[in-house]
Chain A
């Protein structure tokens, strides 16, 4: 699988023994991206430029015309793909481009890990849909929007608002939070409600749900019959890709996929693409101004839990930014901005 994190192309591999590793997807020769495919199966990776070939473990296996380096100290063993620290929770793979920092479980915290494992360990999940959509805004506006419950009745009055009465959020630490949602049938046709609640995931009530916002750019959504993981991927200072993977159960029928996709459309794709996108775009336009030079995130109290109209989750996002991105080793990396 290839992904981009903070502008860096990364390839994640799983070998025959199931070992997962991640590497910068950058050839050690002249810097070309080695793997262009989004996902797939391979025994080796070959750079398209000069055919340097790497193993799944990142080792440099072959170099065409290697003898031309004989006058130098060149050793293939020194030029494998550069590894990226990687870890998993219940099958979700997380990369940490920084060489230093807490472990994944320390960073996520016990509560977040327990919630993720509590759902994903009940079944054998797989990604059955992968959608990406580009937006001409700074990437941080999307994590903010997805932590902002204040706008829901105004921007989503006929979509999300009627089926998701205000739920409590909980601050999980390190910029992470969870908002619990209980779906209701009000204003929904029976057939739509049926598709939203059909084929519930094992261990999950049909109308149960939560959004787990993980700092900085990942959100895990649980709905009664579907899980989806969204990354707000920064491509440029004003270019963001929402990268969403939809999870179902291995062995699902086509109809079950359709039901899960209906939930995904209802809870995520349609409101975001039709309703959130225009207002977030207006926010980007409005903030590029010589007028008001700020965005207010003052609503509500600083507390461990509260209602979704508060800005507390936005403040904890920026607290985490100060803590993690403001660290000395990151202060010199404008690519993160």
Chain B
């Protein structure tokens, strides 16, 4: 996760971190002034991106272990 996290955009990192800490969409809306729809979309994109980075990481590790 460490490396994947580093490759994430900063705003995605911040948003995911806040959400992971327990902030609800409503609270995030109050904090950022973004609508909940926008926040939902951004959260989803951020998760998919992080998921991809994690998958890449896993693939690299698997490849390294095969060698």
User: Does chain A bind chain B?
Assistant: no
Give the A-binding residues of B (Cβ under 8 A).
Answer: none
